[in-house]
Structure 1
């Protein structure tokens, strides 16, 4: 019982760390993305802020299942999911429109160096979180925590897209690659938004299962 309580504390600590990290990542990425005129980095940072809303729902979920492992998703979590879903759809709309505009006008970022740095750091940290969450989820035999770990992988995929697009532009200066990377981020954000609404309507843990 004591070991279980400790594991739930670790799970909650991971959720809080994820929130704090996403706030920091969002602030840094949106600022540098704006300064460097890199839409991919700016969009990546905007996604991080949305993940904060999702993270609050996850932290609440961990407290709920610790108190009652058999309980169903409550109103707070469903509301957080709907707000997150709406925010993702707004982000997708903004990224797609701006990407098309940038391609049309031939806009290119000043540099994507910071996109490479931030995405590399994010891949490392998010992968550690995925492994740690899976370990805790398996030890608790908790489907919701395991589902959260699987969904955290989307952050890894987004980081990889940012790393590839930023790296290619920084090395070869290929036009439109920043905008193409942004469209890749928009696709994943759309999938996340759709998943949020699906989860809000049911008690299933995650479409990433």
Structure 2
């Protein structure tokens, strides 16, 4: 009975990783499309960040599958490579968005509207909160520090969603153009921290800005 329950929890953990991947694909597409249409750099950058999260999510799904097969095993080459690709992508994203934000502030660029940032940011906060709760629940049930670390790392996505929501609301209320650029700088900051954390993990650490580090 205990083994059957454990198997169900591993299946749930795997499904949660698949749901995370699927959600990020949809979120990324919508954010990039509406970000381009409304000329909001913050939402566009948020969408690109979601696509990088897909790469990370594939690595997490593989991690859950590996732990299910061999609970005491260490990261394999696939996971390490995925983490390095994810980290590099986040660094490039941070650089690109940072430069674009500086140009937007200098030129006084103003988005058409940020209403989609409000909608997508709000939906993302709710979705990430639900995913975090389930990941914590299954991580505790399996006594898996790796799954719990992934749940804590999902909090970064929650904070990023909150940033998009707040910056989008402030722009809709005030109409001040540089608010969108400041929001995109926040996206660049989170992308940089996520990149650093990915490389830390590749070196053997389960580290997040929202959790402690352990080998």
Bucket of the pairwise TM-score, normalised by the shorter protein:
over 0.9
User: For 1:100-146, what per-residue CA distance to the aligned partner results, in whole angstroms no more than 9, with x for missing partners?
Assistant: 00000000100000000000000000000000000000011100000
1:31-180 paired onto structure 2 within 5 Å: 31-180=33-182
Aligned residues: 208
Q: For structure 1, list consecutive stretches of 5 or more residues without a partner in the other structure.
A: none
Cα distance in 2 for partners of 1:169, 1:205 equals 36
Q: Which aligned segments of 4 or more residues in structure 1 are displaced greater than 6 angstroms?
A: none
Alpha-carbon contact 1:40-1:185 (below 8 Å) kept: yes
1:191 paired with 2:206, answer: no
* TM-score scaled by length of structure 2: 0.95
1:201 Cα offset (Å): 1.3
Cα distance in 2 for partners of 1:90, 1:190 equals 9
Q: Corresponding residue for 2:5?
A: 3
1:205 Cα offset (Å): 2.1
Cα distance in 2 for partners of 1:196, 1:159 equals 19
1:198 Cα offset (Å): 1.1
The CA RMSD over aligned residues, in Å, is 0.7
Cα distance in 2 for partners of 1:186, 1:130 equals 23
Alpha-carbon contact 2:111-2:177 (below 8 Å) kept: no
Q: For structure 2, list consecutive stretches of 5 or more residues without a partner in the other structure.
A: none
Alpha-carbon contact 1:148-1:206 (below 8 Å) kept: no
* TM-score scaled by length of structure 1: 0.98
Alpha-carbon contact 1:29-1:42 (below 8 Å) kept: yes
Alpha-carbon contact 1:126-1:153 (below 8 Å) kept: yes
Cα distance in 2 for partners of 1:164, 1:205 equals 29
Q: Corresponding residue for 1:206?
A: 207
